[in-house]
């Protein structure tokens, strides 16, 4: 499956097909891991390449990844992290090969969770200290599963093992610091944190994408490198795609494109009387965003 060149409706169909195919592939991997069988991961390699091509054609998948919906959290989280991580990698000018490797690692970053007791993974109440300690073994479990797939997945296994590490040493399982943590692991850890903030869960509140990105900018400077945070700011921005805003001109619309060179001045699509028009705030300097309209607080 390759991105279509027939127009927006065909691209949307390609996006949906990628989501369906990736969910199915990850479902097979989950079943294998839970059955203590060796999973087949080659399908994810193809899906990683497809995602990079889709994102080169548009950002509809970014809107989808940030909309807060989930049918199966661990599987959808893998898809969301792959999409958002790839966008950050693009902002950091990763090569095509490195982007595909980043997406592959993103899709498989929590494979160790499927080797955990289901009662702990799906528990809605606060975990006990003992249960939390068990949960914190999932990166190492994931590393072992991935390392067992041969040399082609050795790099992925290292990234998976480091995804929960943080620059200030507050992460797990090894409390690595600074340069000990690979940059792709930082990217995955950062967008994984963002996805946890914005995705609806039955037992806690969630934020709007704007609130989640803002929270990372304000509070995560000791957790992730400034370079990685800048990649987030350039590609996802403080006004992520799908954010509803009001302009100083009185116009109300939704962010539909980002401007990496001017992250605070995105493209806003304003609908009025059944007609839509785009306002590129990087070109219309007299207009700017004055208010975020969407407030997503779901308990």
pLDDT confidence tier of residue 200, bands split at 50, 70 and 90 = confident
Render pLDDT for 213-230 as a digit per residue (tens, 0 to 9).
999 999 999 999 999 999
Q: 225: which residues sit within 8 A by CB, 6+ positions away?
A: 167, 183, 186
48 and 193: one domain?
A: yes
Considering 209, 235, 261, which residue would you say is the last residue of a domain?
235
pLDDT confidence tier of residue 124, bands split at 50, 70 and 90 = confident
213 and 280: one domain?
A: no
Specify whether the CB–CB gap between 199 and 66 falls below 8 A: no
Considering its fold, how many domains does the chain have in total? Answer: 2
Encoded tokens for 52: 């990079």
Specify if 36 maps to a domain.
Answer: yes
Element (H, E) at 42: helix 42-57
Specify if 298 maps to a domain.
Answer: no
Element (H, E) at 226: helix 226-235
| Residue 294, number of CB atoms within 10 A of its CB | 13
67 and 130: one domain?
A: yes
pLDDT confidence tier of residue 294, bands split at 50, 70 and 90 = low
Give the CATH number for residue 172.
Answer: 1.10.3210.10
pLDDT confidence tier of residue 89, bands split at 50, 70 and 90 = very high
91 and 216: one domain?
A: yes
Encoded tokens for 94: 């990763």
Q: What is the pTM of this model?
A: 0.90
Structural domain boundaries enclosing 140: 8-235
Considering 235, 257, 273, which residue would you say is the last residue of a domain?
235
228 and 90: one domain?
A: yes
250 and 182: one domain?
A: no
Specify if 1 maps to a domain.
Answer: no
Mean pLDDT of 32-43: 95
Residue 16 phi, psi dihedral angles, 5° rounding: -65, -40
Specify if 2 maps to a domain.
Answer: no
Encoded tokens for 137: 């073994």
Render pLDDT for 226-255 as a digit per residue (tens, 0 to 9).
999 999 999 999 999 989 999 999 999 999
The yes-or-no verdict on residue 55 having pLDDT over 80 is yes
């Amino acid at each position: 499956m390759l991105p279509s060149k027939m127009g927006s409706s065909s691209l949307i169909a390609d996006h949906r097909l990628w989501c369906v195919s990736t969910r199915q592939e990850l479902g097979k991997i989950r079943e294998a891991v839970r059955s203590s069988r060796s999973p087949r991961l080659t399908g994810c390699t193809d899906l990683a390449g497809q995602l990079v091509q889709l994102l080169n054609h548009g950002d509809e998948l970014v809107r989808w990844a940030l909309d807060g919906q989930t049918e199966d959290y661990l599987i959808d989280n893998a898809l969301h992290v792959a999409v958002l991580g790839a966008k950050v990698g693009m902002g950091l000018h990763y090569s095509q090969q490195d982007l595909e490797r980043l997406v592959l690692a993103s899709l498989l970053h929590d494979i160790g969770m499927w080797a955990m007791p289901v009662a702990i993974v799906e528990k809605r109440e606060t975990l006990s200290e003992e249960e939390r300690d068990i949960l914190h073994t999932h990166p190492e479990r994931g590393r072992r599963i991935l390392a067992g797939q041969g040399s082609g997945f050795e790099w992925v296994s290292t990234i998976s093992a480091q995804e929960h590490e943080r620059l200030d040493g507050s992460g797990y399982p090894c409390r690595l610091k600074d340069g000990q943590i690979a940059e792709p692991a930082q990217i995955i850890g950062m967008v994984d944190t963002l996805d946890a903030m914005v995705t609806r869960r039955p037992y806690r509140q969630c934020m709007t994408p704007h609130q989640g990105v803002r929270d990372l900018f304000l509070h995560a400077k000791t957790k992730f490198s400034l370079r990685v945070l800048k990649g987030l700011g350039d590609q996802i921005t403080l006004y992520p795609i799908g954010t509803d805003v009001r302009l100083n001109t009185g116009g109300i619309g939704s962010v539909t494109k980002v401007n990496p060179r001017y992250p605070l001045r995105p493209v806003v699509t304003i609908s009025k009387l059944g007609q839509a028009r785009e306002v590129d705030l990087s070109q219309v300097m007299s207009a700017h965003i004055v208010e975020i309209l969407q407030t997503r607080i779901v308990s």
